[in-house]
Amino acid sequence: MHYVKIIRISGSFFAREFEKKEKVRKNTKYREVDEKTVAKQFKDGDTTVEIYFEDSDREAIILDAFSDRELIKKYLGDKFL
Query: What confidence score (pLDDT) does residue 25 get?
Result: 64
- Asked if residues 81 and 39 have their Cβ atoms less than 8 Å apart, the reply is no
14-59 pLDDT, tens digit per residue, is 999 777 676 666 667 788 999 999 999 999 998 999 999 988 899 9
Query: What confidence score (pLDDT) does residue 1 get?
Result: 85
SS3 state of residue 63: strand
- Write the CB contacts of 5 (distance below 8 Å, at least 6 apart in sequence): 12, 13, 14, 15, 38, 49, 50, 51, 52, 75, 76
pTM over 0.85: no
